[in-house]
Structure 1
Amino acid sequence: MSRLLAPAVLGAALLLGGCATPSQPAPITPGTQAPLLPSALFPGGAEAFTAWRCTPDQALVTAASEGELRLWSAHGAWRLQPAVVASGARYEQDEVSFWNKGSEAIVETSRGRLECRAYMQRQALTRQQRPGVMFLGRGNEPGWMASLAHDRPEVTLSLDYGTREQTLPYRVTTLDNAAGRVILASGRGDTPFELRIEAGACLDDMSGEPFPARVTLSVDGEQYRGCGQGIAP
């Protein structure tokens, strides 16, 4: 069997648990079109992601746009709507509420309360910056990237700081919109890999930059972990 490529996080589940019950969809037949990825992997209309450090110890990621706040914890994702408040900004969805003023925020659910402080912001990746890419995952030591094409079921895998790179077809084995989870497998028997994408707060382990998805790439007997973001047109 040939090798795939020739040379060329977060916090405790104290407060925010998963927002949906995972399901096990049947494998999806490969096609000629790229799949529609769960919206929880995207920033929506937001231009930036914000990382928050909270007490009790937990990390959150948010993306705010007009009329909506997207919130990610280590175990799920929420889309909160604006609510009336005397000062600052408040968003709610069912039992989850997020209030912030400046760099401070309070998150409340039926499980308890988090007091948070913003410490980093990252501009969301755009299609202009990454033409033809609908999702980008990346990690460090060694540096790697996985870029999903927006118009066909193909992924470009770049490993070892770009010294090994190949574009390959993939098939979807799991697509769970409610849980924000996607699992992709190689479309070629001689070049196996698995790419797992799950919605949830993710901080780059070198820069600390915030992302809305955790990504795990398994290839050639190795496992690479990192963060990722869906990129809308």
Structure 2
Amino acid sequence: MKRLKAWGGAIAAAGITVVIGGCAATPSAETTTANQATLDNRAPFLPSALFPGSAQGFDAWHCSPARQNLITAVDGETLRLWSLHGAWHLPQAVVASGARYQDGEISFWNRGEQALVETPRGQLKCALAASRDASTRKDHPGVMFRGQGNEPGWSVALANDTPTLTMELNYGEERVQQPYMISVMDNEAGRVVIENADVEPFFRVRIEAGACFDGMSGKPFPARVTLTYGGEQYSGCGQGIAP
């Protein structure tokens, strides 16, 4: 199957599971390029798996019998599909009714608020659970990626022009803006880790492509975000924001 930026994966029984390998012992070409960009005071390119492409919104699907939760976004004539473990890029196929997207032995057939996911190991019957408009630069000027979480409310924003992170904690009562470096850039897995090394205050942000649902609203996002700061760890969701 075609995958967003050559993502690795395997089909599991009655569902979709992606096996994501660990980071290499030596820096990859992507990591080296990203670090050079930050050294040159340019924002690095992030994996396309974190973005909606040209899609204007995301749909969340609750599926059975495997209790899979999926997210889709229609990007032109292709479908971006995220599971809890990764993502796929499925071209549109010709069908008599509904909208079907297929690549190899995996397909997503959408008929209104119902969908059928077919794999070599079985089928998933899915129902539309929630929708969300994709975040845009109009919503967040100058931001390339934004993550957020709840209880207490927090957010992180990566600037689109320079390697700068803006962090807001405790519902916006605390605001920190610092430069960052890339420590991991894995385009195949859609994984990025950024941090500010020995500069105080220390932070680390881990971003991974995969279906994520806001803890309060249930709204769908294409990435999971983990923020480490001040001895605390915060978990939430995020989305890449294209121009």
Structure 1 length normalisation: TM-score? 0.90
| Matched pairs, number | 222
Change (3 A) 1:151 1:13: farther
Query: Which residue of 1 is the match for residue 49 of structure 2?
Result: 40
- Equivalent residues of 1:51, 1:121 under 8 A apart: yes
Query: Which residue of 2 is the match for residue 5 of structure 1?
Result: none
CA distance in 1 between partners of 2:160 and 2:198 (Å):
20
Query: Which residue of 1 is the match for residue 7 of structure 2?
Result: none
> Kindly, what percent of the aligned residue pairs are identical?
54
Query: Which residue of 2 is the match for residue 109 of structure 1?
Result: 119
- Equivalent residues of 2:14, 2:124 under 8 A apart: no
Query: Which residue of 2 is the match for residue 160 of structure 1?
Result: 170
CA distance in 2 between partners of 1:19 and 1:149 (Å):
31
CA distance in 2 between partners of 1:69 and 1:15 (Å):
17
Shift of residue 188, structure 1, vs aligned partner: 4.8
Q: Calculate the aligned-residue CA RMSD, in Å.
A: 1.7
SS in 1 for 2:15: coil
SS in 2 for 1:40: helix
Alignment of 1:141-220 (within 5 A): 141-220=151-230
Counterpart code for 1:100: N
- 2:60 paired with 1:51: yes
Shift of residue 192, structure 1, vs aligned partner: 1.1
Shift of residue 185, structure 1, vs aligned partner: 1.0
Query: Which residue of 2 is the match for residue 132 of structure 1?
Result: 142
CA distance in 1 between partners of 2:172 and 2:20 (Å):
36
Counterpart code for 1:179: A
Alignment of 1:17-36 (within 5 A): 17-18=17-18, 21-24=21-24, 26=27, 28=32, 29=35, 30-31=38-39, 32-36=41-45
Counterpart code for 1:182: V
Counterpart code for 2:158: L
Counterpart code for 1:17: T
Counterpart code for 1:98: F
Counterpart code for 2:141: P
5+ residue gaps, structure 1: 1-11
CA distance in 2 between partners of 1:13 and 1:162 (Å):
44
Shift of residue 120, structure 1, vs aligned partner: 1.1
Counterpart code for 2:63: C
* Higher-helix-fraction structure: 2
SS in 2 for 1:16: strand
Change (3 A) 1:216 1:49: same
Shift of residue 186, structure 1, vs aligned partner: 1.1
- Equivalent residues of 1:13, 1:74 under 8 A apart: no
- CA-to-aligned-CA distance 1:177-231 (integer Å, 9 cap, x gap): 1110000111552221110000000010100000000000011110000000000
- Equivalent residues of 1:169, 1:188 under 8 A apart: no
SS in 2 for 1:232: coil
CA distance in 2 between partners of 1:73 and 1:184 (Å):
23
Counterpart code for 2:155: M
Shift of residue 94, structure 1, vs aligned partner: 2.9
Change (3 A) 1:61 1:13: farther
Shift of residue 108, structure 1, vs aligned partner: 1.2
- Equivalent residues of 1:201, 1:210 under 8 A apart: yes
- CA-to-aligned-CA distance 1:18-65 (integer Å, 9 cap, x gap): 166454361543421111000010001100100101102111100013
Higher RCO (C-alpha under 8 Å, 6+ residues apart): 1
5+ residue gaps, structure 2: 1-11
Counterpart code for 2:58: F
